[in-house]
Amino acid sequence: MRPDRDLERELRELGPRIEYPPTPDLARAVRRCLEEDAGPAPRRGWFELPVVRWAAVAAVVLIAALPAFSPALRDTVGGWLAGGQGAGQDAGGAGEAAPAGQGEEALSADGSEEVTLIEDGAESRAGVPRSGGGPDMPAFGGRARSPGENPGYGERIPLREARTRLAGREVLLPGLGEPDEVYANGSSRSGVVLVYRAGPGLPALGDTGVGLVLTEVPGSVGSAYFRGETPDVAVVEEVGVGSGRGYWVPAGRRPSSLTDRGGDLSGNVLLWERGGLALRLAADRPQREVVRIAESVR
Amino acid sequence: MQFARSSLRDHHGVREPSGFRRCNRAGKRSSGRAVASEDAKLAERAKNGDTVAYEELVRGHQAVAFRTAYLIVGDASEAEDAAQEAFVKAYRALGSFRSGAPFRPWLLAVVTNEARNRRKAAGRRFGLALRAAREDSPGEGASPEAAAVAAERRAELLAALGSLREEDRIVIGYRYFLQLSEAETAAALGCARGTVKSRLSRALARLRKKMVEDENATG
């Protein structure tokens, strides 16, 4: 029997002798494809944008300088920067991550068409503007977001156009209702990102002001969200979602093979498949609650 | 189908078939560092929406991308589609590409996923499409008999390789045929370098076992 090193040598010598088909001129074809596609230019990392960097620097300087001004001014500006939840904070501190199990969801009588998030007596349902959710109110991290400003998930599109980004498949919605915003990233199979703003019972993911993100991509969980296709079951936890299987990735335990498709957010992530779509739900809620929301997706 | 034997190399060391238009930049670059530096500049321009810069970036990597896809799907047309779609997806995802990082491993990860998805979607088993040149290069000095034996051995090796499972074929193909480094292979497969080592070791063991079985079967 030949030792491995001989086999390796043979393979090395074989490599240059492999006859491949001629390489097509992909460069021109790709450029033509990109120019014909009405999609957006590559999405830059949110913090890479110079205006965002300067805005962040300005905000830090402003905060540092606040004590030099009057307490009233400090409180006012601090309120803008800290919350973004406005009335939501008055209604029970939304915007801060609730301890696991504190929030409860209630399914509607017919099963799971609606998911209502209840926290400390405040109630909201996605689709109905939550606290701080008006178009001119601060959202997404508490910044005074101008109407139409893009949070970095791609191109903002109307919900009715989502189907065209899912290779013709129907967009699936959780019992929370219609999302506050929908984004897509260009090509017809790249999927859509449904964004629900933070509010009572739906704390913000990190400092984004986003409460829940549902990403839908044609294909399988492995192909859509994992490099190397197969979820690393040594890191992710397999959970039941309805009669199917899902993968739970707790915040802070991201396997390196998990891509940041759908946003690299700080919350817990659940991945599962339904109707030919690979779904990724990110929320700062406990597993049981996230699974219930996932099971409400239709 | 017989393909023309390769004779040229692009700037990443991947040979281009003879008769194919040589990459404009191929002769200008001699070091990997210079290539990486230029790739970084092109990627940065492409991030800002410069499709001409991206076209040049694609040209520099299209051969390795196409061959990577071909190793997985085993069909020229399917490999072309996979590589092209991967380049488009990579462009769309340039925002997540870290400035200054090597472009090739990142790209090959996209190509690998795209090709695997297409192969799965097609529901076809990998058809062994690889061929090795039968003739030795001029000047290698082997006798006709020795050259024939060597060619037969190469064909047996490819046949045995074709009977292995996909994971084994890919890791062997990436390391020995595409001559990717361990780090590049790890990036393309989305795993750690240590995992590449262990996968490669197991794949080689299975290939060796298969070769022995075939030898015994033919007496």
Q: Which domains does chain B have, with CATH numbers?
A: 6-122 (1.10.1740.10), 144-217 (1.10.10.10)
Q: Evaluate whether residue A228 is within a structural domain.
A: yes
Q: Are A202 and A124 in contact (CB under 8 A)?
A: yes
Q: Evaluate whether residue A54 is within a structural domain.
A: no
Q: Do B6 and A25 touch (CB under 8 A)?
A: no
Complex-level ipTM: 0.77
Tell me phi and psi for residue A151, to 5 degrees: -80, -5
Contacts of B91 in chain A (CB under 8 A): 30, 34, 42
Q: Do B176 and A19 touch (CB under 8 A)?
A: no
Contacts of B51 in chain A (CB under 8 A): 31, 34-35
Q: Evaluate whether residue A223 is within a structural domain.
A: yes
Contacts of A11 in chain B (CB under 8 A): 157, 172, 176-177
Distance from C-alpha of B79 to C-alpha of B83, rounded to nearest angstrom:
6
pLDDT (tens, 9 = 90+) of chain A, 298 residues, equals 555 668 898 898 888 888 888 999 999 888 888 877 645 556 554 444 555 556 666 665 555 555 454 444 444 433 333 333 333 333 333 333 333 333 333 333 333 334 544 333 333 333 222 333 322 222 333 333 333 445 667 788 888 888 778 877 888 999 888 888 888 876 666 788 998 888 777 888 776 778 899 999 888 887 777 766 555 555 677 888 988 888 888 877 666 667 766 665 668 889 999 888 899 999 888 888 899 999 999 8
Burial class (CB in 10 A: 0-12, 13-18, 19+), B19: exposed
Q: Among A264, A102, A132, which residue's Cα sits nearest to residue A199? A: A132
Amino acid at A218: P
The number of domains in chain A is: 1
Q: Evaluate whether residue A131 is within a structural domain.
A: yes
Q: Which domain holds residue A253?
A: 83-295
Distance from C-alpha of A52 to C-alpha of A50, rounded to nearest angstrom:
5
Task: Residue A67: count other Cβ atoms within 10 Å of its Cβ.
Answer: 9
The helix (H) or strand (E) run that includes residue A47 is: none
Q: Do A20 and B70 touch (CB under 8 A)?
A: yes
Q: Evaluate whether residue A47 is within a structural domain.
A: no
Q: How far is CA A208 from CA A43, A143, A267, B25, B104, in A?
A: 17, 9, 11, 43, 32
Q: Are A218 and B117 in contact (CB under 8 A)?
A: no
Rg (CA), chain B: 19
Q: Are A151 and A176 in contact (CB under 8 A)?
A: no
Compare CB distances from B190 to A31, A44, A227 and report the shortest one's residue: A227
Q: Evaluate whether residue A22 is within a structural domain.
A: no
Compare CB distances from B55 to A2, A28, A41 and report the shortest one's residue: A28
Q: Are A106 and A116 in contact (CB under 8 A)?
A: yes
Distance from C-alpha of B165 to C-alpha of B212, rounded to nearest angstrom:
17
pLDDT at site A67: 47
Q: Are A231 and A222 in contact (CB under 8 A)?
A: yes
pLDDT band at residue B145 under the 50/70/90 scheme:
confident
Q: Evaluate whether residue A21 is within a structural domain.
A: no
Q: How many CB pairs under 8 A join A and B?
A: 171
Q: Evaluate whether residue A34 is within a structural domain.
A: no
